[in-house]
Amino acid sequence: MSGSAGERRLFGVVGHPLSQSLSPLIHNWGFARNDLPGTYMAWEIDPDHLPHFVVALRTLPISGASVTIPHKQNIVPYVDRLSDTALNVGSVNTLLWQDGDLWGENTDVAGFLAPLLEREETIRSALILGAGGGTLACIRGLRQLGVTDVEVAARNAGKARDLAKSQGVAAISWDQMDSRSADLLVNATPLGMKGKAEETLPLSPTPERFPLVYDLVYNPVQTRLLRASENAGCRTISGLSMFVNQAREQFRIWTGLDLEESSLAELVREQLEGK
């Protein structure tokens, strides 16, 4: 972590709302575990006040920040430089200072890819549900794996078509999903999230149609989609993996240190399950 020895550095997450954010838990745990003088806070900023937050960021001694919904794309015009990943995805989830410039980075791609790297040889096609920033990160990650057969479906058909056209992938309508199959199914929508259509099942996967199902929702850890997929015999990946690994990459960017994945995942799981 930059700065003189013993100097307490300030970090935080900016988003709206933030009542359920686990980012302070993760990063403050990381600072304590590594005996680093850092503090990580939650800054709930209304979208209309984002420009004022950036002024504060540039004025106050803030060393870095996480960016979450709904600011990931809106923050882009306010940074000085974008990493190649952030530029290609078109969204930023990490802010850092480098040589006096405010940089925008995106660690969602690294987080998304982490559990897929050991399975990459089995993935040649994918269907992604959703047309937001999470879908953009998934498309970028799948390209890094060499997956070119990618389809996108969203309840907002127009948004799905626009995103697909901008990314050079195919769009299908929401009611076409039952006729599709792919090596990988990714849910990048809020469907299944705690408090947001938690019991909604976007489709019923089978191992013949979708051998591997990846739900980016991490609260609850075991979503209805994952339960249905496992019961049908599909292999599954919880969104907890992406969430933990994107945070690990942020921590590494800010401090140069790595957080142990299994310990961090257990910390988050216990918090989500109220243990």
Segments of the chain with pLDDT less than 70: 1-6, 275
The half-sphere exposure of 92 on its side-chain side, counting CA atoms within 13 A, is 27
Nearest alpha-carbon partner for 222 in 181, 182, 165, 269: 269
CATH code for the domain defined by 9-106+242-272: 3.40.50.10860
- Tell the CATH superfamily of the 110-237 domain: NAD(P)-binding Rossmann-like Domain (3.40.50.720)
DSSP annotation of 193 reads: B
pLDDT for the residue numbered 1:
54
Catalytically annotated residues: 72
**The two domains 9-106+242-272 and 110-237 share their CATH topology (first three levels equal):** yes
What's the pLDDT at 6? 62
CB atoms within 10 A of CB 40: 23
This model's pTM is above 0.85: yes
d(CA 226, CA 204): 10
Place of tokens 């199959």: 181
What is residue 275's predicted lDDT score, i.e. its pLDDT? 65
Cα distances from 29 to residues 25, 38, 60, 101, 251, in angstroms, run 6, 10, 23, 28, 11
Helix (H, G, I), strand (E, B) or coil at 146: coil
pLDDT of residue 195: 80
Per-domain residue ranges of the chain: 9-106+242-272, 110-237
